Amino acid sequence: MRIRGFAPATPCWVELASAEPGRAQDFYAALFGWEPAGDRFRLGGRAVAGLTRTRPGRPAGWLTYLATPDLGAAVQRFATSGGRCLSGPVAGHGGQGAIVADPSGATLGLWQAAGFTGAQVAGEPGTMAWPELLTDNPVAAADFYGRALGWLLRDGTEWLNPAHDAVAGLASGGRTGRWRCAFEVADCTAAVAAAEELGARVLVDPTEMGIGSYAELLDPWGAPFAVAAPTSRPVELTLSWNALTGMELTFPG
C-alpha cells in the first residue's frame, strides 16, 4: 500500500544505526528483499527504512520516528513532560530530526518533513509494522506519553494518537523501557529460519498472538528487531433490502 504522508504523533519511519552498516545492509537486504540505496532501503523502488553508522548521540539499533509538524515544539514537550533530548534537532535527508527519550530511557525519533515524509509503502511484507513500548510501568508511561504526544492508552495495550488512530502497542518488559521495532513478513516461521541462516539469533520463537504470529530476534551485531505475520481472515458480508433504509450491507457477528 502506497503511503504519501503521516498524521502528527504517528510512526513514520524506522532507521538502523550499525557499527557495520555495509554488512548490516547485506543482511537486511537478503532477509526482507530490500534494495540498498545509500542511507535508505527501498522495496520496489520505494523507501521503507533508513541506515546510518553509530555515532555519539545515536547508539546502535533500530529507532522508530514519529511525525511532527513542529520539531522544536515536540522536543520541548518531551522535555517539559519529564523526558530528554539525546541529540538534535539536526537537518537530515528531506527534513530534520531529533532523538528523544522518555523517563524510563526508551528512545524515539521525531521527524519534521521537508520533502521526505517517511516510509512510502506499508501493509505488505518487508515494511514497517506495529511498534511496541516494552515497560513494567504502564501507568507512568500513559501519563508521560499523554502529556508529551497527546496519546491515549486504550485497554492497557494500544496507543491512540490525538486523532484516535491506533498507532502503537504496549507490552510488559524490563525495568528499563524500550521501543521494539517490527517488520511485516508473509510467514513468521519461514522468516525466522531465514534470519537464523543469515546469522541472527532468536529471542522469542514464533508465537500466535490472535491477530497473527510474531517473533523477536537479534541481528548478527546485536540489534533487536521483530517480525510479524498478520492473519488473513475472510469477511462475509450479507446484502439485503430494507424498506426504510434501502440496501444494507451486514457484517457477521
pLDDT recorded at residue 75: 97
pLDDT recorded at residue 61: 96
What would the pLDDT profile of 29-43 be if each residue is shown by its tens digit?
999 999 999 999 999
pLDDT recorded at residue 212: 84
Range of the domain at 169: 11-230
What would the pLDDT profile of 180-192 be if each residue is shown by its tens digit?
999 999 999 999 9
Answer whether residue 57 is part of any domain.
yes
- The three grid cell numbers given for residue 10, joined into one nine-digit string: 504517528
Answer whether residue 250 is part of any domain.
no
Mean pLDDT, residues 1-11 taken together: 85
Alpha-carbon distance of 119 to 53, in angstroms, equals 20
234 pLDDT more than 70: no
Answer whether residue 245 is part of any domain.
no
Domains of the chain: total: 1
Q: What is the pTM of this model?
A: 0.89
pLDDT recorded at residue 238: 46
Answer whether residue 164 is part of any domain.
yes
Answer whether residue 211 is part of any domain.
yes
User: Which residue from 88, 90, 79, 86 is spatially nearest to 100, judged by alpha carbons?
Assistant: 86
pLDDT recorded at residue 241: 53
What would the pLDDT profile of 134-169 be if each residue is shown by its tens digit?
999 999 999 999 999 999 999 999 999 999 999 999
Answer whether residue 127 is part of any domain.
yes
Residue 102 sits at φ, ψ, to 5 deg, of: -80, 175
CATH, residue 84: 3.10.180.10
Answer whether residue 5 is part of any domain.
no
Answer whether residue 185 is part of any domain.
yes
**What letters, b where the CB count within 10 A reaches 16 and e where it falls short, cover 41-72?**
bbbeebbbbbbeebeeebebbbbbbbbbeebe
Alpha-carbon distance of 115 to 136, in angstroms, equals 38
pLDDT recorded at residue 31: 98
